[in-house]
Chain A
Amino acid sequence: MAKRKAKASRVRSESSSKAAKNSTQVMTYDDGEDELLEGDDDDAVISASEEDEGGSDDERKHRKLLEAISALGGKKRRKLAERSEASVQVSEFAVSAEGAGEKISLSDLLGAMDQTPSAVKSTKKQLQNLESCKDTLELPLSRQETEKIQRKVAFEKTSKDVSQWESIVKQNQRAEQLVFPLNQEPSGPKPVEHVVVGWKPRTPLEMEVFSLLHKNMQPINDPLLTPMEEASLKAMSLEEAKIRRAELQKIRALQSYYEAKAKRERKIKSKKYHKVLKKGKRKELLKEFEEMRNKDPAAALEELKKMELARMEERMSLKHQNSGKWAKSKAIMAKYDDEARKAMQQQLEMNKELTQKLALPPESEEEQEPEETEVVPDFANDAQAAADPANPWMMGKLSAEPAEKDCGGDDKESAVENTQNEEEREPEGDEEEENEEDVLLREFDEKRKSRRPDDDALAPPFQVDKEETEGEKKEEPVCVSSEDEHEGEVVSEFKSLFQKLLANGHESTVNKGTGQDAKESDAEEPALLDEGLSRVRSLEDVDELLGQGLVREHAEDVAEVKEKIPTTAEETKNERTDKRKKKKILDLNDVLTRDAKVISVPLAPTAIGEEEVAERGGFFRSFVGLRGDEGNGEGDQRMLVQEAFAGDDVVADFLKDKKKRVEAGKPKVVDLTLPGWGEWGGVGLKPSRYKRRRFRIKVAPPPPRKDRNLPNVIISDARESSVAMHQVSQLPFSFEKPEQFECSIRTPTGHTWNTQRTVQKLTAPKVVTQLGSIIEPITRDSLDKSKAQTRGKKAPDIVLASAGAEGQGPRKGRRKAGKNDARNLHNSRRRAIKRTK
């Protein structure tokens, strides 16, 4: 302390020359203590005597003078206050002392200390130091200021205290559900450990049981293993461990090897390579399968069963049905992006492959491949669905299609011509599988695709070709196609799928099985469309369809097309073509409206469309199911419907309506020519052509209609005020994108769409209170609890760390360390339990 002061003063001395003497003094302090002390004493004595001689003498005189003067005035000018009464509050101004006004020096007070030799030297030194230092102490702060500081400190402390609650408050705010009163005891059975805690054995039997348990060191609560058991569980002999380690090592090595290999292969970009690879694999598989079939049919059967199982699984799941989020996004892109379309197709293909029905026991060797039997992709059923026998309106639609078929026929012919030229161009090198017909088919398809943008009405009936060209094998069973649910797929997808099927060297599916939706003017479809369910005849047709015999009778025009009836293998190509032609003729007769253009263009239907079609598909299914044994009730109902709507031509009306709307939506040319301006005008005079051209304003064509590809839908973009009233016009707060908001609205919460459990979860209220129970303010317990929880989380870490430290000491081998760990864990758990208790 003294040194520091000395140093400080030294610094001061350097800056100012006045205090030079002082500083030298201090410096000497540092050098030798004893001598200097003495010297100092002398100094002090001297100074005291000096004061006595000079200053105090004058003072006294002066005071006397003052007193004399004041006595002249009659009364004392100022009376010194006296401390007469003890009180808590003493004014600082009222305190007085004898000899006020005199300067009191430190030496006055401490004079006695010099006399006592025993006085502590260090204290003396300190005092001297103080004396030598001339600075006065600072005034204590005023009361206001001190209070201010006190308040500030206190406030900071409290706000810090209060901030502890922040976590809990936030937690409660974030909570999905708050149940008040808080801190309720959870109802329901408690774990035994909690119940048993306070319980002690009393009866002799109980005591005996407990003593037994204790003897065996049987734990009563939580980890229900004895230490022995635990140890035995943990233990593993050295050999075992070694073997296991070797195994693991080997596996790891293998794995890394395979990984590397796979990586290398994955990096190969050549599509051809992959294609070949895949093909090779498939062949291998097939070969294996064949061998197996020859060697042990049981295993082959097993394999078959496996495939069947896979198929079932696929049919159950929505995995490759382009219904997922990814697929939907792709579907949007598919219009513009070839790759997206391709990706979707691949998905569908996968689905198709997996859902293929396995072949019934094959007749010939070639047919053994499981892929042989083909399934018509689901959406091929659309048309059928449309041709719902119970709904006469739906039949009408089909009548519109014959026209397409015709042009489709034309297409086909031209395509046939083309194929010959283009045969050589086939890039694929799969000679084995593909026969000429297939190539042809594919080319047709491609052409059709390329042509599509030009004319909307497309319907090259390449199915006909298939039928004609390909050697027939078994047709798929009716039920398969009928079972397949309709999916609103883009027809092109279907086509490509179909093409693939063909390319793979499978028999062509006769798409008779598939129904034709009006939308699907597909190659396969026209034939089906030809069923000739014209609206005019539909009622009778339905009758006939329902009656089996009738169906047979009308086989040429209706039934066989009406799909599902398998064309038998025995039928010759010629017969088929004949039929086809017949069909065509009939259909031509059926043509009702020339709205074919509107109808025919295939595209993915809207969601609602899908639903409808699905329903129709359901109808159709039921129809097919019933076809074998005719249900009378069905027939009655149909009759009823027919009678009820005898006069209605709903489909035609709809088409007309739609046409009207389309027309109305087209922009009109504005003619602003004014006759007579700049030229002669009058009756019978027309404005000049130049003028007309000049003042006619052509409006840019509107964007294509959204329903242009949806035959049975009218989409209107116009804002409807009655609906607008119920619509949200602005994006509500807290949503960032319209999609988010839509998403929040879209998911249904009701029990109509969700299981009870889900509904309960979805509709759980945010705050739950109990009827008639008092809700107390939150208490410190909950705070402590949350703290304890966080602490509890940390505890095991510490234990583990310490265990690790133990293990690190002398190397005892893994096993022992492991045991230690286990024991520590065990102990820690016990501790934790105790804490919770």
Chain B
Amino acid sequence: MKVKVLCRNPDDYVRETTRDIQRVPRNYDPTLHPFEVPREYTRAMNATKLERVFAKPFVAALDGHRDAVNCMAKHPTSLSTLLSGSCDGEVKVWNLPTKKCVRTLQAHEGFVRGMCARFCGTSFFTVGDDKTIKQWKMEAPGYGEEEEPLNMILGKTVYTGIDHHQKEGVFATCGQQVDIWDEQRSSPIRSFTWGVDSVSCVRFNPVETELLASCASDRSIILYDMREATPLQKVIMNMRSNTLCWNPMEAYIFTCANEDYHLYTYDMRQLSMPIVMHSDHVSAVLDVDYSPTGKEFVSASFDKTIRIFPEKKSHSRSVYHTKRMQHVICVKWSLDNKYIMTGSDEMNIRLWKANASEKLGLLTTREKQAQNYSQKLKQKFQHHPQIRRITRHRHLPREIYSQRKELHVMKEARRRKPEVQLMCSERSGTALSPSKKKLSNVPSLLVSFFLKCKVLLAHHRS
């Protein structure tokens, strides 16, 4: 009889140095590892549960402002710096890791309406209710020096917003008209008007850097090209847009935050119809900002929540709120795609994780692998009811919850109405044309008016 001897080559299991990882010989024979699907399902379930357990997005609150935070600006080259302007004309510079205010300056009398940093990060601009545009140094003044703006332009009218060009010394302000300024000159190099009394927000396109878009109070969004003499195009919506934001990775996509509780993503070449209507908020949306990867954006709303939407999904993937956070006025997504900053009515700036359950800080390779694996599993089993239920569950404050329900009822009724009408009408034989315009800009004016009234009432009560 043949005798077989087990023998092993030490090379197969001995590490060369102690810094190598241990070799673990494995037998991948599928018969030795049965029940792949159930086992992976269990893992996915655990991962999902853990994700929800660890979903604690709130990182820190920065308090120091003595009035509501009206605007914020990201530092283009430093992740740890944040600028914020409040309703009492104060501008603060924050150090995020230490959660401390580094510098405070009284920039304007009245509101600081808008602010933006220069692309190189050496200075920043503010506009305020005192009809001035001021340019400030990013560094704090030395000992004994007075806090003074580098430049100041006194305009004829109030400026309501400002944005800086991505690469050149050019910035744009808005107010009664949209002005393009050269940093070296005291008068605008170009002004655009298009029958509007006031423009509330202007944004440069970060990719096609010569393009701008603005939101005007006649419920319109207007596109401009810096090089042209006239504005390019305008779309009028049923309600006013508060702000808009360009997608930093897709040159022709922008999203606007509308008063009618929704956000609309447009392709600038096709303004007749938005690509997606993002709905989930239960009150006017006040601000929106894209993640630097262009895959998601965050919106701040009057309903005291912020929501994160995937780029082209009509519903949000998560909602953040705390008891103490009031109407969120401004929101920014940090440039490393990790954090979200919100400025709200109750004078606080809050720092959130963009990914609620993400572990912060450096991860070891194994941690990273485990994370990737669990992500993959979650994605793989996302359609399974239990997992879906767990992943989708979120807590909402009671008011928002009930308001949502109410809105849902209203929406249903609106949807049903034509059907019912048709049913009750004499010529019920005619087929109802399928409502293709599901994405129609906005519900009818009447309805939106009704909504607005409701909101006002609610505010009044509170």
Contacts and interface: CB of A to CB of B under 8 A. Distances in A.
B252 A165 contact: yes
Given A748-B40, A763-B369, A777-B166, A162 B251 contact: yes
Interface stretch (B62-70, B156-164, B332-340, B416-424): B332-340
Interface string A140-154: 000000010011001
Nearest to B381: A745
A755 B27 CA distance: 10
B319 to A, nearest CB: 21
Contacts of A697: none
Q: Which of A614, A725, A748, A774 neighbours the largest number of chain B CB atoms within 10 Å of its CB?
A: A774
A752 B33 contact: yes
B410 interface: no
A763 B37 contact: no
A74 interface: no
Given A154-B232, A726-B41, A774 B249 contact: no
B337 A727 contact: no
Given A172-B249, A180-B293, A763-B376, A750 B385 contact: no
Given A178-B293, A611-B34, A754 B337 contact: no
Interface in A764-779: 764-765, 767, 769-779
Interface of B: 1-2, 28, 30-31, 33-34, 36-37, 39-41, 43, 76-77, 79, 166, 206-208, 211, 223, 225, 228-233, 248-252, 268-269, 292-295, 335-338, 362, 369, 372-373, 375-377, 380-381, 383-386
12 contacts: A150-B229, A155-B223, A155-B233, A162-B252, A165-B252, A180-B292, A728-B383, A749-B40, A759-B373, A772-B79, A774-B77, A777-B207
Given A777-B248, A777-B249, A760 B292 contact: no
A750 B43 contact: yes
B206 A777 contact: yes
Nearest to B43: A750
A155 B271 CA distance: 11
A615 interface: yes
Contacts of B43: 750
A812 B117 CA distance: 68
B381 A755 contact: no
Interface in A754-805: 754-755, 759-760, 762-765, 767, 769-779
A159 interface: yes
10 A-B pairs closest in CB distance: A777-B248, A775-B292, A777-B206, A748-B36, A732-B383, A159-B269, A165-B251, A763-B372, A763-B376, A155-B232
B336 A773 contact: yes
Contacts of A336: none
Given A180-B293, A749-B377, A778 B385 contact: no
Interface of A: 147, 150-151, 154-155, 158-159, 161-163, 165-166, 169, 172, 178, 180, 479, 608, 611, 614-615, 628, 725-729, 732, 741, 744-746, 748-755, 759-760, 762-765, 767, 769-779
Given A151-B232, A753-B30, A727 B385 contact: yes
Nearest to A749: B376
Q: Which of B34, B37, B251, B369 neighbours the largest number of chain A CB atoms within 10 Å of its CB?
A: B251
Given A158-B225, A774-B336, A753 B77 contact: no
Contact of B269 (A162, A614, A751): A162
A775 B335 contact: yes
Contacts of B223: 155, 158
A725 B385 contact: yes
Q: Which of B31, B206, B268 neighbours the largest number of chain A CB atoms within 10 Å of its CB?
A: B31
Nearest to A744: B380
Contacts of B36: 746, 748, 750, 752-753
B268 A767 contact: no
A351 to B, nearest CB: 19
A165 B208 CA distance: 9
B232 A628 contact: no
Nearest to B30: A753
Contacts of A172: 249
A169 B249 contact: yes
Contacts of A762: 376
A764 B372 contact: yes
Contacts of B335: 774-775
A155 B211 CA distance: 11
Contact of B252 (A163, A726, A774): A163
Nearest to A742: B37
A728 to B, nearest CB: 5
A769 B337 contact: yes
A672 B144 CA distance: 107
B251 A755 contact: no
Q: Which of B30, B208, B383 neighbours the largest number of chain A CB atoms within 10 Å of its CB?
A: B383
A763 B208 CA distance: 34
B385 A150 contact: no
A767 B385 contact: no
A836 B77 CA distance: 29
A771 B293 contact: no
A746 B380 contact: no
A767 B383 CA distance: 21
B293 A775 contact: yes
Given A774-B292, A777-B249, 13 more contacts: A154-B228, A158-B225, A162-B208, A162-B252, A165-B250, A611-B31, A726-B384, A727-B384, A753-B36, A754-B28, A767-B293, A770-B336, A774-B77
A449 to B, nearest CB: 31
Contacts of B292: 180, 774-777
Nearest to B80: A772
Contacts of B230: 147, 150-151, 154
A180 B294 CA distance: 11
Nearest to B1: A628
B372 A778 contact: no
B250 A760 contact: no
Given A162-B252, A769-B336, A760 B369 contact: yes
Contacts of A728: 383-385
A693 to B, nearest CB: 49
A614 B375 contact: no
A395 B30 CA distance: 26
Contacts of A744: 380
B34 A765 contact: no
Contacts of A765: 372, 375
Given A763-B376, A767-B293, A778 B384 contact: no
Contacts of A162: 208, 211, 251-252, 268-269
A190 to B, nearest CB: 25
Nearest to B251: A165
A753 B376 contact: no
Contacts of B250: 165, 169
Contacts of B377: 749-750
B249 A772 contact: no
Contact of B31 (A166, A169, A615): A615
B269 to A, nearest CB: 4
A777 B209 CA distance: 10
Contacts of B338: 769, 771
Contacts of A155: 223, 232-233
A752 B40 CA distance: 10
A337 B128 CA distance: 84
B297 to A, nearest CB: 14
Contacts of A615: 31
A778 B40 contact: no
B385 A769 contact: no
B37 A772 contact: no
A229 B70 CA distance: 73
